[in-house]
Structures are given as C-alpha cells and as structure tokens.
Amino acid sequence: MPSKLYGEQSAIIAEQYGFADKVKPLIKSRYDHTPLAFIHTYGCQQNVSDSEKLKGWLEYIGFGFCDEPDNADLVLFNTCAVREHAEARVFGNIGALKKFKKARPDMLICLCGCMPQQNEISEKVKRSYPYVDIVFGTGLRHKFPELLYKKLIQDKRVFDNTLDAEIYEGIPVKRDGTFKTWLPIMQGCNNFCTYCVVPYVRGREHSRAPEAVVAEAKELIKAGAKEIMLLGQNVNSYGKGEEHGVDFADLLKMVNDLEGEFRLRFMTSHPRDCTEKLLKAMRDCDKVCKCLHLPVQSGSDRVLAEMNRHYDTTHYLSLIDKARELMPDIEFTSDIIVGFPGERRDDFEKTLELVKRVKYRALFTFIFSPRRNTPAEKMEDPVPKQEKSAWFTELLKVQDEIAKEHEKTLIGKTVCVLCEEENDGIVSGKDEAGANISFHGTADMIGKFQNVVIEDVSSGIMGKIKEN
Ligand code: SAH
Ligand code: SF4
C-alpha cells in the first residue's frame, strides 16, 4: 500500500477527528475551567515526536498545557522500555499520582508508549494501579481521541495495546519548539538486535512517502525551524521495500535543497546500512551537520555477532575512515553497551581499543539491561554487576580523556552555534557536532546561528562572538 502524503487524511484519521469532536463537549462539561494537560515523555526522540502528536490531539480537543501534574486535569506518561531503569522510574512516577487522583477524582490518568505495548506491563498496571484510566501502546497513538471517548462515555478503564505499525498522516501536531524540530521519516525496526525491545514494541519498519517528508520540512522551515532532525530507528534503510525508489541519501538531498537557513541532522544510522552514497550525500549537502551518530555497541566481533548486528569492526572502521576521507572535519558519536551477556574482559578491552581509535566526540553508554522476551534475556550472563560497573566506569574515563584532548584542539577555532538559551548574559547552544558551547551574548540571539571562536575549555566550552 503506498504511504499517505503529508496532511492527507486516511479514513481512520478522519474517524479520529470525529471522535475528537465528540470528546470536546464531554471535556467541556467535565471541568468548569479550561482543562490542563501535563505530558511527561520518557526515552528517545521518537517518543518526543510522538508526544507532539498526542499534544496535537489534546490541543484540538480544547486542552491547555501545564508543567507540573499538581493542577493537571489530564496526566499522560509516554513511556520508554529500552532499559529497566526507565521502566522503574515510570512506575515510581505513576505511584506518585495516586494522591492527586484522590484529591481530584475527575483527573484523567493515561499511560502510553513502549511500556504498555507489552502485555505484562499493561496487565501489571491493570492489577496494581487502579487509578490509571487509559492505557495504550505505541501502536494506537493515532487513536487517542477514540480511547478518550470510550473512557468518558463508558466511565470504565480503557486498555488497548493493539500494535498497528502503519504510518498515518494528517494527525494534528503541537510542536515543543519552533527552531529545533523533529521530523520522523519512518517508524518501527526490522533489525532484531538480540538485546533490544524496540522491534517488539514499535513493530515492523515503515517509511513515510518522500513527498510527505519534504512537505512537512517545508512547513517547519516556514514556521521558523533552524534545525531539523530526521528521525528513524534506522534511517539508512529508509525507503526499503517502497515503490518510490527514494533512499535515505536521496531524501537527505531533497530536504537539503529546500530554501532557507537551517541545519539538518539525522539519527539513527545502522552501520550495516550506512553506504558510501550516504557519506557522499552528507559531504555534498551544505546544510547537513558533519557529525555522524553511528552506534557501534561493541568493539568485539564475537559480541557483535551475538548481538545480531550484522557487521564487524573491520566494516565499522572502514566506514569511519571513508567518512573522514570524504569529510576531514567530521565528528562521530556512538552508543555502547557494556556487559552484554557472555562479554569477557578481552571483549571489553577491544571496545576500549575501538573507542581510542575512533576518538568519538561523545558516547552514550549503557550497562546491558535484560529486556523481556528478547533473545539476550535468556543468554548466560556470568559477569557480576559490580564487574560490569567497573568496566563501565573505565570506559567513561577513557572517553572523558579523549573528549578533553579533543576539546583542547578546538581552542582558536570558529564554530557555528545554534543559540538555545540565555542566563545572566551567558548564551549557550550546540555546535555542528552537538556539543554545548557558551559565550557572552543576549537573549535576542536565541533561535539564531552565531559564529563563535573557542577560547577556553577548562570547564565546559567557552568562546566569544566572532567579529566579522
Ligand atoms: N535504533 C537505534 C537506537 C535504539 S535504542 C539504534 O539502533 O542505534 C538506543 C540505544 O539504547 C541503543 O543503541 C543501545 O545502545 C541501547 N540499548 C538498547 N537496548 C538495550 C539494552 N537492553 N540494554 C542496554 N542498552 C540498550
Ligand atoms: Fe533496537 Fe537494533 Fe532496531 Fe536499533 S537497530 S532499534 S538497537 S533492534
């Protein structure tokens, strides 16, 4: 089935607008004031982007928004299941809502996202958290109005974790920021890395039509976007299996060619699918930041095979070298898992070696967390937690030294900063590689690009405005 164009409404979404219209008067009569919603998003940018759509529905229905649950009439937690720690935090936060619900029984409590997509979690919430009203997974976020309607009409708790991984265009969006924006180009994942829960909670991979992506990018630029992050679990496989024949490198060029002053980023790139064509497209696209997030996960080929990553370190390093050959100033960031089941000290040392060889600008490091129903959950895992923690600390130390050395080389260089905030005359924002840069400036710079000469890296990276 061809994907929908941006803004085009399917019958399913048209039906949801119908439900939203029916919910409006019910909400209006439920509260004697403009109802307020508090949304808390856990986890990755994909979730942040999903929450912008859930907020879009709530705004359409007539909700305003607040920053704390204290006075909220509706609380929505959009959850993450990638690691156990994230789940534990969500349960803690749901527990804390009990007192609000007791004081204000009209409050609506909703839980959605990757956690309740799993039956076990959904059942646990049903059993142990009776004050949670609406529970649904990532697979039904487009049907939020219908679920709200059911709750309000039947006055019964609503649980539905059907997984519909289809892409739906035409959902209203309330964007969190005007100048820093997310643009999902696909959803789901087909990779089944053995440690990862994502393919189970987000379903199979589907790409949006290129026209839909370009039309949304145009709208974002018109509305003042200065940075667009193209999002997908594996953007390098964009367009696979679609009739349009546009791959990710082509799509990048299409968005890059749009008129306007903006910066383009993308994540996440899977090393198996990262092609020379893409690296060349990065080089040729003037708006694409020369920074590649290329998660390696491990520096040991044995562990990579166990992880089902479909590449080895030779392939990974050849990508790094190729990218550096094409773009000498390119910087890299990566994700690494420490303590995968069966990982030995010699495997871990290979990870350290790889990290020293690549010299990443930044690393996102995680200790392996067993996820239910994934193959790695059942693998033998003899290394004690304390040892894994010690390896983890060792990796952080190595990366810290690399980052410090790298920062020293920045002194005297000019970087382009997209200014994000101002406090007491200090403006801070991100450079092309996503590193935080601060300098003396004024609040009117927020949302604009500023060339900054780096002066000091002793505590954070400080610079001064470059005079023309
Ligand atoms: N699709 C992206 C990101 C997936 S989740 C990718 O393939 O890179 C983000 C990161 O969380 C992963 O890259 C991995 O490093 C980490 N992660 C995923 N599952 C994990 C688990 N069970 N334990 C520890 N870290 C995990
Ligand atoms: Fe998870 Fe692997 Fe898919 Fe990334 S590529 S979401 S790590 S299964």
The edge-to-edge listing of strands for the beta sheet with 134-136 is: 64-65, 36-41, 74-79, 108-113, 134-136, 158-160
Residue 216 structure tokens: 């949304």
| The predicted structure's pLDDT at residue 374 | 97
The percentage of residues in the chain with a pLDDT greater than 90, rounded to a whole number, is: 94
Q: Which ligand has its closest atom nearest to the C-alpha of 340?
A: 1
Q: Which residue from 154, 103, 163 is spatially nearest to 136, judged by alpha carbons? A: 163
Residue ranges lining ligand 1, Cβ < 6 Å: 82-83, 195-196, 198, 233-234, 268, 270, 295, 297, 335, 337, 366, 368-369, 371
Residue 155's pLDDT is 84
Could you tell me the distance, in angstroms and rounded to a whole number, from the CA of residue 39 to the centre of ligand 1? 24
Ligand 1 centroid–CA 233 distance in Å is: 10
Task: Concatenate the DSSP letters of all residues of 415-448 into one string.
Answer: EEEEEEEEETTEEEEE-TT--EEEEE--GGGTTS
- pLDDT at 29 exceeding the cut of 80: yes
Residue carrying the six token digits 């949801």: 16
Q: Tell me the domain boundaries of the chain.
A: 11-160, 202-289, 296-407, 414-465
Architecture of domain 296-407: 2-Layer Sandwich (3.30)
**Residue bearing tokens 């856990």:** 42
pLDDT tens figures, 47-99: 999 999 999 999 999 999 999 999 999 999 999 999 998 899 999 999 999 99
Segment 12-26 shows an average pLDDT of: 97
pLDDT of residue 406: 94
Bridge-based pairing of strands 74-79 and 64-65 is: unpaired
| pLDDT computed for residue 69 by the predictor | 93
Span 97-115, pLDDT tens digits: 999 999 999 999 999 999 9
Q: Which residues, at least 6 apart from 210, have a Cβ–Cβ distance to it below 8 Å?
A: 239, 244, 246, 250, 251, 254
Q: What is the mean pLDDT of residues 380-406?
A: 97
Distances (CA, A) of 134 to 74, 198, 232, 238: 11, 22, 27, 33
Closest ligand to residue 366's CA: 1
Q: Which CATH architecture has domain 414-465?
A: Beta Barrel (2.40)
Over residues 228-246, the mean pLDDT reads 94
CATH number of 202-289: 3.30.750.210
Atom of ligand 1 nearest to the CA of 234: 1
pLDDT band of residue 2 (cuts 50, 70, 90) is low
Mean pLDDT over 340-367 rounds to 97
Answer positive or negative: Cα dihedral of 180, 183, 188, 193: negative
Q: Which residues line ligand 2 (CB under 6 A)?
A: 189, 191-193, 196, 198-199, 233-234, 270
Q: Domain 11-160 carries which CATH code?
A: 3.40.50.2300
Q: Are 202-289 and 414-465 in the same CATH fold?
A: no
Query: Which letter does DSSP use for residue 236 in this model?
Result: G
